[in-house]
Amino acid sequence: MSNNTIKISGSVLSANFLHLATDIGRMEAAGVDSWHLDVMDNHMAPCISFGPPVIAAIADVAQVPLDAHLMMDAPWLFFDQYIQAGVTDLCIHAEAYGYESVAHDQITRASRRVAHMDADRFRDHSRQLRDQAIGVGITINPDTPVSAIVPVLDAVDSVLVMSVHPGFSGQPFIPQTLPKIRELRRYYDGPIKVDGGVTATNAKALIDAGATVLISASYLFKSTDYAAAIQRLRFPIK
């Protein structure tokens, strides 16, 4: 795979929210390809982040696509709000379409998983979003197997593989993500995004496994040279 096809997405979760417009402008000037917007509702993930008002403000200044990662229960209730806020893509958790009921207090101990999802409902929602020219991604947590999403891979524009348990920036990368991406690549030839603990140290392994979009939060924003950090992800040293 040519590294010219590798995209770098900046997660605003690690940006300085008091100077968000400045950080966005600097990172875009450095060459970031898109913005990853982590929306958490304190049910799917043990944290609350931000929602449509903040995303609308980002949309006013951003010059690259906005990919909203909806870490939330019943995300379909809020699709219209995020579309109106200006997102170009929505990544929806497979775990939100599970048949099993989940006790919310479990998210403080382990991220949610699903073995079988309501594929018909997901397909219906995907069709509604695509009819509005919104890119549809499906997200899987670390403990959710690839087999859970195989039935809907023909209804998505991308797959987002979580390489940490969702909730907080700065977590260490989960090594088992690599074989998971390789397994997914056997079933799916579209964009594979990876979110969590992505750095120049594991970028080459992720790309070799089949990832095409590397999402980074703290690695990018803690760098003193945004352009160099982006290049180290896009063209990692062998």
- Name the residues annotated as catalytic: 38, 195
- Taking alpha carbons only, the member of 138, 141, 162, 164 closest to residue 150 is 138
Q: How many whole angstroms separate alpha carbon 169 and alpha carbon 195?
A: 10
Q: How many Cα atoms occupy the beta-carbon half-sphere of 109 within 13 Å?
A: 5
How many CB atoms neighbour CB 237 within 10 A? 8
Provide the residue type at 159 as one letter.
Answer: V
